[in-house]
Amino acid sequence: MSVASLRRAARETVSGLPREFWWLWTSTLVNRLGAFVATFMALYLTLDRGYSASYAGLVASLHGLGGVVSSLGGGVMADRLGRRPTLLIAQSSTAACVALLGFVHDPVAIAAVAFLVGMASNASRPAVQAMMADIVRPEDRVRAFSLNYWAINLGFAISSMAAGFIAEFSYRAGFLIEAGMTAVCAVVVFLKLPESRPERTAKQREAEDGIGLGTVLRDGRYMGVVGLSFLVALVFQQGSVGLPVAMGTAGFTPADYGLAIAVNGILIVALQIPVTRFIADRDPRRLLVVSSVLAGYGFGLTAFAGSVGVFALTVCVWTLGEMINAPTQTGLVVRLSPVHGRGRYQGVYTLSWSLAALVAPLMSGFVIDHLGAGWLWGLCAAVGTLAAVGYGVLMRRMPEEEPAAERPVAARAEVAAG
C-alpha cells in the first residue's frame, strides 16, 4: 500500500467525528499516559514497602472491588447528575486519592485508599461511554469506540514503559505524576466538554424516572449481552493473570512474559485503525462470534506453546479477537440502551468487566494449582465457544440501528440539515 493510500485511509478513519469527541479522546489519552500506579503497585508494595505478595494481592483485590461498586454508582450518576459532572467528580477524586496513596504507610490505610482509588477511577467509565454515545452519530460509533480503545492502549503502552524508569527514581513521583495528569483530564473536561445528556421533554423525564437499576436487570436481552461480555472478559483477563503464572511455572522469566505480552500492545497500536475500517460496516453478530472464537482458541493454543515465540503467536491470535470485540461490543451495548438510561446501562456493562477482573485471578490460580495450566487453556477455549454460540443465538433478531426518535438531539438536527 502506498503512502498516499495510507494517508487517505487514516483521514477517512478520523474524519466526520465531532470536536467534542476529540476532546474526550484527548482526555482518555492523557489519562492512560499517566497510568503508572497500576503498573508498579505490586512492586511498590513488595520491594519498596516490604510487604508480602499476599498483601499485594489483597490490595489489588480491594482496588478491583472498588471498581465493582462504582460501576453501578457511576452509571446512576451519569444519568441523574449528567455526564460532565460525573467525570469531573470522578477524575478530581481519583487525582486526590492517587496522590494520597503515595504518602500513606500504614497497611490498613494503604488498602483503604486503594479501594477508594478503584472506586473513583472506575466511576468515570460509564460517563465516558455514555457521553461518546451522545455526541457521535450511530453510524460512526464503532469507529469512535475503536479510536478511543486505540488511545487507551497507546497511552498504556507508553506509560508501562515509562513506569519502570520512574519507579527507579521514585515511586512517590509516579503517584504524583499520575495524580497530576488525572487532574489535567478534569481540566480538559471542565474547559472543553459541554454536558451531552440529551434534552428531555416532560414525557421523557417521566420515562427516565422509571428507569432504575432494576429496569436494567429485568432487561433480559441486555443482561444476556452483559453475561456474554463477562465470559469474554474472563478469557481476556488471562493475559494478565493466568499467562504470567503459567509461564513462570513452566520456567520462563518475567522478561520472557514481558516480550510475549508486549505483542498485544504493539498490535493494537499498529492495527486497531485498519481493523476498524475493515469491520465498520460488517454484521456485528458475526464479528462477536468470530472475536469470541479467536479469544477462546487463542488462549487455548497456549497449551501447546513451548517457547517465547510460540507464546507470542498465541497472543497475536487473541489480540485480533480483542481488537474486533472491544468496539463492536461497546457499540452493541449503546444500541440496546435507552437514551435517557445510558449511564445505568453502561454501568452494568462495566460491572461485567470489573467482576471478571475479580473472578479471573481466583479462577486461574485454582485451576493451575489443582489441575495444571493445560486445563486453564482448555477452559478458555470452552468459554470462548460458549460465548460465540451465545452471541449467535442472542443476536438473531437484533435491531440494525436505534430508531431515529431515540438518537441524540444533535444527531437528529444534523441529519435534518443534510
Residue 403: pLDDT band (50, 70, 90) is very low
> What is the structure's pLDDT at 416?
33
Q: Do domains 18-193 and 211-407 have the same CATH topology?
A: yes
Residue 263: pLDDT band (50, 70, 90) is confident
Residue 408: pLDDT band (50, 70, 90) is very low
Q: Which CATH number fits domain 211-407: 1.10.150.120, 1.20.1250.20, 1.10.10.10, 2.40.50.100?
A: 1.20.1250.20
> What is the structure's pLDDT at 70?
85
At 70, which amino acid appears?
Answer: S
User: Average per-residue pLDDT in the chain?
Assistant: 82
- The domain covering 18-193 belongs, at the CATH homologous superfamily level, to MFS general substrate transporter like domains (1.20.1250.20)
Residue 275: pLDDT band (50, 70, 90) is confident
- Across 175-182, average pLDDT: 92
Decide if pLDDT at 398 tops 60. yes
CA distances from 179 to 36, 71, 106, 121, 216 (A): 10, 21, 20, 11, 34
> What is the structure's pLDDT at 12?
67
Distance CA 12, CA 281 (A): 14
* Run of H or E residues at 64: helix 53-80
Decide if pLDDT at 418 tops 50. no
> What is the structure's pLDDT at 412?
35
The separation between CA 33 and the C-alpha centre of its own chain, rounded to angstroms, equals 15
> Which is nearest to 117 in space by CA: 100, 94, 99?
94
Domain ranges of the chain: 18-193, 211-407
Residue 409: pLDDT band (50, 70, 90) is very low
Whether the CB-CB separation of 51 and 348 falls below 8 Å is answered with no
For residue range 279-294, list pLDDT tens digits in order: 877 888 899 999 999 9
For residue range 65-108, list pLDDT tens digits in order: 888 888 778 888 888 888 899 999 999 999 999 999 989 989 99
212: its cell numbers: 432504575
> What is the structure's pLDDT at 53?
66
Decide if pLDDT at 402 tops 60. no
> What is the structure's pLDDT at 377?
94
Whether the CB-CB separation of 74 and 86 falls below 8 Å is answered with yes
- N-term to C-term CA, the chain: 34
> Which is nearest to 332 in space by CA: 288, 295, 290, 294?
288
Q: Which tops the pLDDT comparison, 156 or 7? A: 156
144: its cell numbers: 469512535
> What is the structure's pLDDT at 253?
79
> What is the structure's pLDDT at 184?
93
Decide if pLDDT at 140 tops 90. no
**Following DSSP, what letter does each residue of 65-133 receive, concatenated?**
HHHHHHHHHHHHHHHHT-HHHHHHHHHHHHHHHHHHHTT--SHHHHHHHHHHHHHHHHHHHHHHHHHHH
> What is the structure's pLDDT at 385?
96
Angle ∠(279,281,283) on CA atoms, nearest 5: 80
Residue 157: pLDDT band (50, 70, 90) is confident
For residue range 15-36, list pLDDT tens digits in order: 788 999 999 999 988 888 877 7
Residue 317: pLDDT band (50, 70, 90) is very high
Identify the residue whose cell numbers are 461497546: 330
Decide if pLDDT at 327 tops 50. yes
Identity of the highest mean pLDDT range in 198-202, 216-220, 370-374, 378-382: 378-382
For residue range 208-252, list pLDDT tens digits in order: 555 677 778 888 888 999 999 999 999 998 887 788 878 878 888
Lowest-confidence region among 210-214, 269-273, 339-343: 210-214
